[in-house]
Amino acid sequence: MQISAIKFDTFNALADAEAQERILAARARLGRRAVLLVHHYQRADVYRHADLTGDSLKLSRLASQTDADYIVFCGVHFMAEVADIMAKPGQIAILPDLAAGCSMADMANLAKVERCWRELDEALGGSADQTVTPVTYINSAADLKAFCGEHGGIVCTSSNAGKILEWSLAQREKVLFFPDQHLGRWTGWKMGIGLDDMQVWDPDLENGGLTAEQIRKAKILLWKGHCSVHQMFQPGHILRFRNQYPDGLVISHPESAFEVCRQSDYVGSTEYIINTIKAAPRGTRWLVGTELNLVSRLAEEMKAEDKIVQFMSPMVCMCSTMQRIDPQHLAWCLENLAEGQVVNRIQVPPHEAELARLALDRMLAIS
């Protein structure tokens, strides 16, 4: 007789403290059969339960190395898709709340990317597959990773974008980079590619809003997409900080706008930001341009070393979709697993997963 899954309604009204107790009890029952992968941006009351933490690159590696039956991904939808693609046969990837998406990832979809490719092919005289390497940021749906796999392209993260773009331009003379224009622009500029050689492709306009000449001359075509958190940071925030604290240091994530990155002392992934501040001398002061949960956690950890870590924006801005993974959803998910019921499984169709893994394996081999 099959046991019915426990409905979430009974968990929605749980007090946080009770949800925490039920998480611990379910984890004790599951033992090593379940592993919790938790992104750095996750809220503190979920982050505390992590078995493994990291940014997108680190977690994509860890997802392929775990031996647990269940990979419970406390992040967003595209991360759980990567876990499923990289998982061993028989392993199951789970996202505690299916509403945990990514607004940046939603800015590029397969229909728009395929239309873009057709328009590029026409503008380049039928040579898109010989001329353009498609590169998708890991913050994208599995079908876009599959598109890159099928067309000789690759996936990148904020940690390895430089290496990936070097590889991509060695394969073909141009890159189509999606969905985050800011990471692509900053990475290209750091490689010595001029801003005039990087054009923004607007997927809502014919030919991306570009002329055939602009398409032919561009080295990198940047998809018009962005992160809703990192777009909040402004050069004025840095100027105000420097006026107050001339000896202070500024570190930003490359999803931030170009001028924010240019005015920062350091620019890098979430893992890079954490490691840089931890390695800094005692007593240093930092302005940090990345997600609030990470900055708050780092600020607390660094107090013991007399380091002051502050959030760049005067406005509260956190990854609202990541916030959807709360103790109530995690407790519900784990209790169901403990009862032998899988809820919120993330399964990428086999053909799509095979092509996406090609693009991911290329990335992992290079980085």
Alpha-helical runs (H) found in 132-280: 142-150, 161-171, 181-190, 212-217, 235-244, 258-262, 270-279
Task: List the structure tokens of 17.
Answer: 């403290």
Residue 1 has pLDDT above 50, yes or no: no
Q: How big is the CA angle at 187 (ends 322 and 146), to the nearest 5 degrees? A: 60
* For residue 323, pLDDT beyond 90: no
Among candidate residues 242, 248, 227, 131, the one with its CA nearest the CA of residue 179: 227
CATH fold group of domain 230-311: Rossmann fold (3.40.50)
139-183 pLDDT, tens digit each: 999 999 999 999 999 999 999 999 999 999 999 999 999 999 999
At which residue do the structure tokens 């409905």 appear? 7
For residues 322 and 223, which has the higher predicted lDDT (pLDDT)?
Answer: 223
Q: Check whether 343 has a pLDDT greater than 80.
A: yes
DSSP at 69:
S
**Does the pLDDT of residue 316 top 80, yes or no?**
no
**What pLDDT score does 93 carry?**
94
Domain spans, the chain: 9-101+322-348, 105-228, 230-311
Measured distance CA(86)–CA(93) in Å, rounded: 10
CATH for 105-228 is: 3.40.50
pLDDT per residue over 22-47, tens digit each?
Answer: 999 999 999 999 999 998 888 889 99
**Superfamily of segment(s) 9-101+322-348:** NadA-like (3.40.50.10800)
Q: Which of 53-62, 73-82, 179-188, 314-323 has the lowest mean pLDDT?
A: 314-323
Is the pLDDT assigned to residue 3 strictly greater than 60?
no
**Terminal C-alpha separation, the chain:** 48
- Does residue 203 have a cis peptide bond before it, meaning omega lies within 30 degrees of 0? no
List, for residues 256-302, the tens digit of each pLDDT value: 999 999 999 999 999 999 999 999 999 999 999 998 889 999 999 99
Inter-residue contact 287 to 241 (CB < 8 Å) = yes
Please name the amino acid found at residue 365: A
Q: Which amino acid is at 7?
A: K
- Give CA–CA dist 139/155, Å, rounded: 9
Closest CA to 294 of 278, 280, 311: 311
Written as six digits, the tokens of 256 are 């931030």
Q: What helix, strand, coil percent values describe the chain, rounded to 5?
A: 50, 15, 35
**Structure-token match 């999803």, residue found:** 255
Strand order in the sheet with 70-74: 52-54, 34-39, 70-74, 92-94, 345-346
Q: Is the pLDDT of residue 5 over 80?
A: no
Q: How many residues does the chain have?
A: 367
Per-residue pLDDT of 68-81, as tens digits, reads 999 999 988 888 99
160 in Cβ contact with 185 (< 8 Å): no
Could you give the percent of the chain with pLDDT greater than 70? 96
> Does residue 178 sit in helix, strand or coil?
strand
Q: What's the confidence (pLDDT) of residue 57?
A: 67
Question: How many other CB atoms are there within 10 angstroms of residue 1's CB atom?
Answer: 3
Say which DSSP state 218 is in: -
Residue 93, strand partner residues: 71, 346
Tens digits of residue pLDDT in 197-242 = 999 999 999 999 999 999 999 999 999 999 888 888 999 999 999 9
Crossing angle between the packed helical segments 56-63 and 77-86, to the nearest 10 degrees: 40
pLDDT at 254 over 60: yes
Phi (first) and psi of residue 357, to 5 degrees: -65, -35
The tokens 């991509």 sit on which residue? 168
Condensed to tens digits (0 to 9), the pLDDT of residues 102-124 reads 777 888 999 999 999 999 999 99
Coil/strand/helix, residue 223: strand
For residue 353, is pLDDT > 70? yes
CA-to-CA distance for 259 and 102, rounded, in angstroms? 24
